[in-house]
Amino acid sequence: MPLQTMGRIAAALAALAALPACEYTYSDDRGLMERSTTDRAMLTDQTTVTTSPVILNVKGMSCPKCVTNVDIQLARIPGVQKSSIDMSTGKVVVNFDPTKHVTRGALAKAVDDSGLTLASIEGK
């Protein structure tokens, strides 16, 4: 590989490393910024999800890193087979094995663990 190309690659990687981490925030009416968190009741909901797929409405998704974080956390749930994430709308379609015990709380915790906020779950 030419030395000039290697220099460009090194510069691009350095620029990526210098990017600030995503901050998952919202602004209140006074302009204050805080991290929004998933409602505690959602995190502890042990209701089994019975229909696949379900749609998660996620707040705070602002970059591809957000998408990756959500995808990784959902994949850790036993029974989750696939997730399709639309960063622009915050909608996450989750397909899972209906014979597995996937709870609403597990889905909420996965979103929360990714640093984002679960607004709602559509589906039973």
Q: pTM for the complete prediction?
A: 0.72
CATH tag, 37-122: 3.30.70.100
CA 19 – CA 8 distance, rounded (Å): 17
Calculate the average pLDDT of the chain: 80
Conformation bin of residue 12: beta by default, left when phi > 0, alpha when psi is -120 to 50:
alpha
The domains of the chain are located at 37-122
- Which pair of structure tokens corresponds to residue 18? 């210098």
Q: Is the peptide bond before 53 cis (omega within 30 degrees of 0)?
A: yes
| pLDDT for the residue numbered 26 | 43
Encode pLDDT of 36-83 as tens digits: 677 888 888 999 998 889 999 999 888 888 899 999 999 999 999 999
Which residue bears the tokens 């229909």? 51
Of 87, 85, 121, 109, which Cα lies nearest the Cα of 37?
Answer: 109
Assign 122 to helix, strand or coil.
Answer: strand
